[in-house]
A and B are shown apart, each in its own frame.
Chain A
Amino acid sequence: MGVKLASERPGFSEMEDVNFTDSELVYHVRDALRSVTLGDSNSYNELIGVIHHTEYLTPDEVALLVTSLKALSGAVSCIDIAHHDSLLSSIFRMSMWSYGPDVMDALVELIISLAASSGKYIDSCLDMLVSNFMPPHYFLALLKQPRGLARKDQVLHRVHSALRDIADLVPLAPLRLLPIILQKMPNVYSKEPMIVIYVENMLRLESGAMGELVGSMILCAVVDRLIDLDVEIEWEDILQDDFSKGIFEMELEDVEETLDDDEQEGDELPRESSSWRRFRGNVVAEKLDSLLVLMFEHLRSCNDVGRLSNVFETLLQSFKQTVMKAHKSKFSQFVMFYACSLDPGNCGVRFADILADIFTGSVSPPDVRMSAVAYLASYLSRAKFLPASFVVNILQRLVGWCWKYTESQDGDINPDAHRVFYSGCQAIMYVLCFRMRSIMDVHRMKSQLFLMPVEALLKHPLSPLKVCLPSIVEEFLRQAKAAHLFTVSETFVFNDLLESEHSRAFGGKERLDMFFPFDPCLLRKSDRYIRPNFVYWSMVRTTYDDDDEEGSSDEDVVDGFMGRSVENIAGDAMAASFEEHDLDLDEFDYSMNKMSITPKNSSNFRFGSELYGSAMRMPSRIRPSTSPESL
């Protein structure tokens, strides 16, 4: 089977018998092209026929195609955009995924020649190459097989080197390339493999030779797409509207549900968190998950070659412009978290500084400042890689700003007017819930904390303790009391409330009072990247905690924080205490399951802190206590 050829034209017939030089072939093609303008389109149409033929090519046909493409490369100067319109559109519609490496090479050579020959073809050539980022639909299933992956490698390698070659010949090509890439980016409704492979190519360009020219716009576009997917996920999919539970308790949700499901489904299923299960069917979440993983891998490779700080600046810009402005972004912000975890000393510190700057500065509108401090509080609490000393310094800035604010106010409680202030106070309390213990355990930091006017701040007539989220205030007061930071004379009765009328008022329409952006990531694949650097509430040792996991007596509760020296707590208190808790996934889940034994509704253990490790016995609080606290 072969393509029917006009027998008068010696150049194309009986390919096996005749040996033509390359230049002769080029001249034949030029003739064919020129004849079109004179009215004779026979050989021209044959040429198009050769190119159109895509399926089940025999080796002869492949050879013919390769030869034709190579000959065309030499004849680009004779191609006219008007007369040879159908030939050009056939060429630009070719998908490299449908052919073997020989044809790919010849096609790429043709595209590069076309692009360099005249400004008229540049956009179409770049467009064609960008279209080849993605395989045709029929190929998607093959992508999972080794054969498909091999083809993918061949295609993408050639596409990217073609883009580089064109940029070498036409220096302004990257400028034209950028809008094409952005415009052809698949939208949120496209199939997952398509979006994933396209973004993979975008990130490859970012780290490639053209990275300097197109990189930052590409990263911003990817983050934009992450947010687009993010906002498609409904909050209802994530939260159960059970606001009777405390914030800190929500992380324990997973526990009870896992237990129930296990009973039904037997032991075959791995012990996943139930929140992951909730997302299994959610297509949008899975797309977001895959893209986040791509970003994480990309950031990791950037870090390996030492260019993370430059990339981070772009990410910061994008974060301020896109992520922060999105209404309560759910998971996209973990890109920042992961980047910070890769380079805590540099990026990690910078992120916190920028957020603190936004909050304490007067340039941004109130909602942005509240959002910034919410990000900051969640970040400082959850980032395992941030040393407690750094956290204390940031806290000092926050306390300083809040304190200065009170000095200029002599009014009373007013959730709406002072909402920026209240969000600052809530942030301080939230961070201290997580970090107080580790701060107290180091003498220098403890004195630093004691020197801050926290007590005066919280007892000011503006009454942050009444306005901020009750569950946070309650936990904070408990720890503050145990740490002897300060005590309040009046008892705050919260009745297990998560939120109050006042907190709603200061939170405003967007409910920024209940915004904890770095709460555990519920996307399965991404979470594996985040988990090693993440602080779960269950891991946190509080100031009222029982230090010893093996049977400790009640007296230890008091001695626990005061007498306990810095035995096994190194400079970075947090990290050290987690070494012992650094279990692998299965063990961790298993021990979380153990917590389900303890009563859920008792207000005394709502934050679950004392449960970890000592779940098998009743915590000391319930036993008739002889500790000084109860007196």
Chain B
Amino acid sequence: MEGLKVSDAKLVVYVHPSKATKVSQAILRELSSLLFKFSEILDGVVLAYDVSTLSEVAKILPGVHPYFGVRLQAKLLLFHPKADMLLEGKVVKLGQQSIHVIVLGFSSAIIIEEDIREEFKYKVKRGEEVFDSASHKRHKIKVGTTLRFLVKSFDEEILHISGSLVPAHTGSVRWLDKNREDWLHADRSSKKRKKSAEREQMWEHNKPIIDASTLSMNTDQSNKKSKKRRRNEDS
């Protein structure tokens, strides 16, 4: 799955003097306020952090409230899906006009009818709604299926993704993994051969990063060093 990266960041957290006896708590609280929000500076939604202090000495700010700045080194797990990336998520709702997917448990994605390729037909079988593939009998999409789809757009404020099932290498992950021959073949016959070959490489390369909890580093992305200033207000 693309869109995930681990960044190294140098941060400074300014802590209110009243928290001087519980600095770690204050720092963790401040960093927690970043979670599940898109940060422009960090270029992504912060999903997890691993932080350590760089120095035992902190500079005190001059002024009315003597905040002191604690310097930190943090590893941040960031999520920033961009157009044409491939993502995976679980289908939670299915209808003729749309498929609703949830990615990484927090980000909602929708794939509208126009972006579902002709191959898939909407059917109701035994009371259950399902998208059946006309060309591949075993390829089904229903509630609970893990779906791989292409990103069309990403709303940074609500973390909502608009997705597409048009390309041949999208669909139910289970089927795609078992039947690589079928969709690779379909792709090669299309005009966009070069792009799909690239994508195949990337797919190979990214395979280990399906499980988000294993913080594997994507070596394509360079380490990002950013300096960030934040204030920790007394609550």
Contacts and interface: CB of A to CB of B under 8 A. Distances in A.
B100 A119 contact: no
Contacts of B96: 23, 74
Contacts of A436: none
Contacts of B112: 77, 117
Contact of A77 (B108, B113, B155): B113
A377 to B, nearest CB: 29
B100 to A, nearest CB: 5
Contacts of B155: 118-120
B110 interface: yes
B93 A116 contact: yes
A122 interface: yes
B105 to A, nearest CB: 7
A31 to B, nearest CB: 15
Contacts of B108: 116, 169-172
Contacts of A119: 155, 157-160
B36 A117 contact: no
Interface string B136-177: 000000000000000000010111101000000000000000
Contacts of A113: 98
Contacts of A325: none
B31 interface: no
Nearest to A171: B106
B200 interface: no
B102 interface: yes
B73 to A, nearest CB: 29
Nearest to B158: A119
Given A117-B110, A120-B155, A168 B162 contact: no
A118 B160 contact: yes
A26 B162 CA distance: 21
Contact of A117 (B98, B105, B157, B159): B98
B114 interface: yes
Nearest to B162: A118
A122 B92 CA distance: 18
A113 B112 CA distance: 11
A74 B106 contact: no
Contacts of B36: 172, 175
A77 B97 contact: yes
Interface string B92-131: 1101111010100111101011100000000000000000
B98 A170 contact: no
A259 to B, nearest CB: 53
A116 B110 contact: yes
Contacts of B102: 169, 171
Contacts of B162: 118
A278 interface: no
A481 interface: no
A122 B36 CA distance: 17
Nearest to B112: A77
A93 interface: no
Interface string A105-120: 0000000010011111
Interface in A219-245: none
A117 B95 CA distance: 12
A317 to B, nearest CB: 11
A176 interface: yes
A168 B158 CA distance: 15
A75 B158 CA distance: 21
Contacts of A171: 102, 105-108
Contacts of B159: 119, 172
Interface string A153-175: 00000000000000011111001
A46 B106 CA distance: 39
Contacts of B113: 77
A77 B93 contact: no
A171 B93 CA distance: 13
A118 B110 contact: yes
Contacts of A168: 92-93
Interface string A171-183: 1100110000000
A119 B108 CA distance: 9
A300 to B, nearest CB: 31
A77 B105 contact: no
Nearest to A115: B108
Nearest to B101: A169
B144 to A, nearest CB: 13
Nearest to B102: A171
13 contacts: A74-B95, A74-B96, A74-B97, A75-B97, A76-B97, A77-B97, A116-B110, A119-B155, A119-B157, A119-B160, A172-B108, A172-B158, A172-B159
Given A74-B97, A77-B113, A117-B98, 7 more contacts: A77-B97, A116-B93, A116-B98, A116-B100, A169-B102, A171-B108, A176-B158
Interface of B: 36, 92-93, 95-98, 100, 102, 105-108, 110, 112-114, 155, 157-160, 162
Interface of A: 23, 26, 74-77, 113, 116-120, 122, 168-172, 175-176
Closest 8 CB pairs of A and B: A119-B158, A119-B160, A119-B155, A170-B108, A77-B112, A74-B97, A171-B106, A169-B100
